[in-house]
Amino acid sequence: MRSIVLMAAGLMVATSALAQSAAEKSGVNSALAIPPKTEDFVKEVSMSDMFEIESSKLALERADEATKAFAQQMVQDHQKTTAELKRLIDSGKVKAMPATAMSDGQQETLNKLKKLEGADFTEQYHDDQVDAHEDAVDVFKRYGNEGDNPDLKAWAAKTVPALEHHLQMAEDLEKK
């Protein structure tokens, strides 16, 4: 299996920047602990923030009180990271454009959530939050450790503890 992953990684590295995005999307970069390219990181962060904000707004309408408190913090914190990323881009320190929409997978997940109510909604929201924050911690750590833009790298590293806290909170909610 490892040889297949390494071969796929080699093919990804040898092809265009678009393939780099494919390597990031497919999980090859994560499996090999390869940091995302700046463009991929900016897109992933912006898509992740959009998903977090929209799914958490939905939770504010449909979930129990403990989940609503978590969701409120997710809305606030992810609006903050969106604003911080925008400032880095607007300052010219980061030369990459954020995504304008969620990924197809994130949109699909949000659409599924929209169809749920009560305990089914809450359980699915909790699961989605754990998954989303595991992904976020992974990509922020990889970029924070070895990203190619110093300002964005510093911001990513500074943001990791908050995302790890979010993940712990999501895991705790899931246990209830």
pLDDT tens, 91-140?
999 999 999 999 999 999 999 999 999 999 999 999 999 999 999 999 99
135 shares a domain with 95: yes
64 shares a domain with 121: yes
Residue 146 has pLDDT above 90, yes or no: yes
96 shares a domain with 42: yes
pLDDT at position 33 is: 66
136 shares a domain with 59: yes
pTM of the entire structure? 0.82
170 shares a domain with 109: yes
19 shares a domain with 6: yes
140 shares a domain with 108: yes
Q: Which domain holds residue 53?
A: 36-175
Q: What is the mean pLDDT of residues 21-48?
A: 76
Query: What CATH number is associated with residue 136?
Result: 1.20.1260.10
Can you tell me the distance from the alpha carbon of 58 to that of 122, in angstroms, rounded to the nearest whole number? 10
59 shares a domain with 20: no
pLDDT tens, 49-87?
999 999 999 999 999 999 999 999 999 999 999 999 999
91 shares a domain with 20: no
170 shares a domain with 137: yes
